[in-house]
Amino acid sequence: MKEYPIYFLDKKKIKNANLKFAIILSLWNKEITYRLYQGAYDTLIQLGILKEKIKTWKVPGSYELIYSSKKIANCYNFDSIIVIGSLIEGDTYHFKYLCQSISQGIKDINIKYDVPVIFCVLTDKNKKQSFERSGGKNGNKGIECAKTAIYMSLFKKSIK
């Protein structure tokens, strides 16, 4: 599995940046989303983010990630927001419409608000694939998203 390099993520630089993160966790498919959350949360801590600088909210499903991330971006001053969800394809078109709506909604929030919203929503064909991507043989996308959140937070601070 190819992972983002962390060689230039200096813990001292991260600590000095005093970064604050919001994590929004979908409870739908929670056996998968909790694994993604744990990967993201643990990575933030391992890279020097203080526990009190990470705030977590839970929402019923992945569609609710749109409203909740918009509200948090509008009302709080976080350096990045990580949205975590899991959609698994079924026999209806519901999966397709949700995937498209959620990705477009999160994209719109990234454009409208001055805070990076990191997309950690798995869109998989089956549960096996979801488990493989949330701590299985294909790694944990939550880890990658936490690193991306740090990168984007430092980027944001570098251009202010």
Identify the active-site residue in 11, 94, 125, 127.
Answer: 94
Q: Categorize the per-residue pLDDT at 160 as very low, low, confident or very high, splitting at 50, 70 and 90.
A: low
- Residue 121 inside a domain? The answer is yes
- Residue 90 inside a domain? The answer is yes
- Residue 26 inside a domain? The answer is no
- Residue 1 inside a domain? The answer is no
Question: Which pLDDT belongs to residue 1?
Answer: 41
Question: Which pLDDT belongs to residue 96?
Answer: 87
What integer is the mean pLDDT of 91-109? 91
- Annotated catalytic residue 53: no
Provide the mean pLDDT of the chain: 91
What integer is the mean pLDDT of 142-146? 96
Number of structural domains, the chain?
Answer: 1
- Residue 7 inside a domain? The answer is no
- Residue 8 inside a domain? The answer is no
What 144-148 contacts at long range (C-beta under 8 Å, 24+ apart), as own/partner pairs, is 144/3, 144/4, 145/36, 145/40, 145/82, 145/84, 145/118, 145/119, 145/120, 146/39, 146/40, 146/41, 146/43, 146/44, 146/47, 146/82, 147/3, 147/4, 147/6, 147/9, 147/43, 147/47, 148/4, 148/118
pLDDT in tens, 47-63: 999 999 999 999 999 99
On the question of pLDDT at 7 being above 70, the answer is no
Report pTM.
0.92
What integer is the mean pLDDT of 110-123? 97
- Residue 6 inside a domain? The answer is no
Q: Categorize the per-residue pLDDT at 137 as very low, low, confident or very high, splitting at 50, 70 and 90.
A: very high
- What percent of the chain is modeled with pLDDT above 70? 94
Q: Domain containing 154 — which CATH number?
A: 3.40.50.960
- Residue 60 inside a domain? The answer is yes
Structural domain of residue 95, as residue ranges? Answer: 13-20+31-158
Question: Which pLDDT belongs to residue 17?
Answer: 83
